[in-house]
């Protein structure tokens, strides 16, 4: 706990000790970490394996642009409202695609993301297919100096990651979180215990969609430019996130954190090799899925019986008869 607090303070002070490029990279790491934790909650716990979360990343990004440009809002409330709109939108989407079972659900989410992409490409006031940039006065409204804006973008990313992880942790410790964990372990048994599976999944889907849209808004606040292909990219917002979670360890809270660190370590060392790095990433993910389906964190946990976020329940046998 003390170590965690110290680490957080150090990270929060990063704008004073880190260079610009490092600050940007760290901001990106926190945003990916948030996306990974959210996807993990949905796929690892609720069994909703989506390959279409880019729908909400892009939606959040576009809402930031639309609400600041046409609504005249400050970027931060615009991002939060984008999250609420995403939550509202995700309900009818869920009602439709929850009809698809298992793996077909996955491709269904992708179709939805394509519908989002094609729809936003039709909106000519947001630049249509070629996209648009965030106007200078909107950018200025964040902070006057460039370094001030970069620090703010970084803090927002860090804050988002902390909130997402804390919220998921707190949620998993509640009654409903326990129900979700039961669904993760066995859907049949969970429904036998009276858990409304459809409803629980819907709640998880709506909440993750809203948070994903907020993260999307933050991503494009950092980028300052949006286009349909970048906003709804299946590689950037889904493939990488899935690899992070699978390599780190799906269905655990620690997995995505470890996975994000491993992913960026791999990316920073292999980025010069271009496509080879993506091939390597795919191979690593397949090998992990086959050989260690609980990911790297699963290996560590089995070996050292370690848990960073106490979430499991254990049976303790006490010696009373002596």
Partner 1 sequence: MIEWTNAVVQGVLLGGLYALFAAGLSLIFGVMRLVNIAHGDLIVLAAYFGLTTTVMLGIHPFVALLIVMPLMAGFGYVLQRGLLNRTLGDDILPPLLVTFGLSVIIQNVLLEAYTADPQKLSGGAIETASVQLGGLALGVLPLLTFGIAVAVIAFLQWLFYATSLGRGFRAVSDNQQIAQLMGFNKAHIFGLAMALALAVTAIAGILLGMRTSFDPSVGGGRLIFGFEAVIIGGLGNLWGTLAGGVILGVAQTIGAKIDPGWQLLAGHVAFLVVLAFRSNGLFPRINH
Name the residues that contact partner 1, by CB under 8 A: 43, 49, 51, 96-97, 99-100, 102-104, 106-108, 110-111, 114-115, 118-119, 121-122, 234-235, 239, 242-243, 246, 250, 275-276, 278-279, 281-283, 285-286, 289-290, 293
Q: How many other CB atoms sit within 10 Å of the CB of residue 195?
A: 18
Smaller CB separation from partner 1, 106 or 162: 106
The C-alpha atoms of residue 79 and residue 84 are separated, in whole angstroms, by 9
Please state the closest distance from residue 238 (CB atom) to partner 1, in A: 9
Smaller CB separation from partner 1, 37 or 48: 48
Smaller CB separation from partner 1, 72 or 282: 282
Its sign, for the CA torsion 74, 79, 84, 88, is positive
Smaller CB separation from partner 1, 27 or 256: 256
Smaller CB separation from partner 1, 7 or 280: 280
The C-alpha atoms of residue 68 and residue 137 are separated, in whole angstroms, by 10
The full length of the chain comes to 322
132-133 and 225-226 beta bridge pairing: antiparallel
The C-alpha atoms of residue 80 and residue 63 are separated, in whole angstroms, by 10
Please state the closest distance from residue 240 (CB atom) to partner 1, in A: 10
- Contact between 6 and 144 under an 8 Å Cβ cutoff? The reply is no
- Contact between 234 and 55 under an 8 Å Cβ cutoff? The reply is no
Smaller CB separation from partner 1, 40 or 200: 40
Please state the closest distance from residue 49 (CB atom) to partner 1, in A: 6
Please state the closest distance from residue 281 (CB atom) to partner 1, in A: 7
Please state the closest distance from residue 132 (CB atom) to partner 1, in A: 17
Q: How many other CB atoms sit within 10 Å of the CB of residue 143?
A: 14
Smaller CB separation from partner 1, 6 or 107: 107
Closest by Cα among 260, 264, 312, 281 to 37? 260
Enumerate helices (H) and strands (E) in the chain, giving the number of each: 17, 2
Contacts of 221 by beta carbon, 8 Å cutoff, 6+ apart: 64, 75, 79, 134, 142, 153, 156
Please state the closest distance from residue 86 (CB atom) to partner 1, in A: 18
The C-alpha atoms of residue 167 and residue 277 are separated, in whole angstroms, by 33
Please state the closest distance from residue 75 (CB atom) to partner 1, in A: 29
The C-alpha atoms of residue 40 and residue 46 are separated, in whole angstroms, by 9
């Amino acid at each position: 706990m003390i170590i965690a607090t110290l680490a957080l303070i150090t990270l929060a002070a990063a704008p004073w000790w880190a260079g610009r490029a490092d600050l940007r990279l760290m901001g990106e790491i926190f945003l990916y970490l948030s996306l990974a934790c959210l996807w993990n909650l949905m796929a690892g716990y609720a069994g909703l394996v989506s390959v279409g979360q880019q729908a909400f990343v892009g939606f959040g990004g576009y809402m930031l642009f639309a609400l600041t440009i046409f609504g005249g809002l400050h970027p931060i409330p615009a991002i939060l409202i984008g999250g609420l709109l995403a939550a509202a939108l995700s309900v009818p989407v869920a009602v439709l695609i929850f009809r698809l079972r298992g793996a077909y659900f996955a491709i269904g989410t992708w179709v939805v993301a394509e519908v989002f992409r094609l729809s936003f490409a039709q909106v000519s006031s947001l630049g249509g297919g070629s996209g648009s940039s965030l106007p200078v006065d909107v950018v200025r409204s964040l902070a006057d100096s460039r370094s001030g804006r970069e620090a703010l973008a970084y803090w927002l990313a860090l804050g988002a990651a902390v909130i997402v992880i804390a919220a998921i942790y707190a949620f998993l410790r509640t009654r409903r979180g326990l129900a979700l964990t039961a669904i993760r372990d066995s859907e049949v048994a969970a429904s036998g215990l009276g858990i409304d599976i459809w409803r629980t999944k819907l709640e998880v889907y709506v909440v993750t969609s809203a948070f994903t849209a907020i993260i999307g808004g933050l991503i494009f606040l950092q980028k300052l430019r949006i286009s349909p292909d970048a906003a709804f990219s299946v590689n950037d917002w889904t493939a990488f996130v899935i690899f992070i979670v699978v390599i780190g360890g799906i269905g655990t809270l620690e997995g995505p954190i470890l996975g994000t660190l491993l992913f960026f370590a791999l990316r920073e060392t292999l980025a010069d090799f271009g496509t080879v790095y993506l091939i390597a990433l795919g191979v690593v993910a397949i090998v992990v899925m086959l050989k260690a389906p609980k990911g790297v964190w699963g290996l560590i946990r089995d070996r050292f019986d370690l848990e960073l976020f106490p979430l499991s329940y254990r049976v303790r046998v006490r010696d009373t008869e002596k």
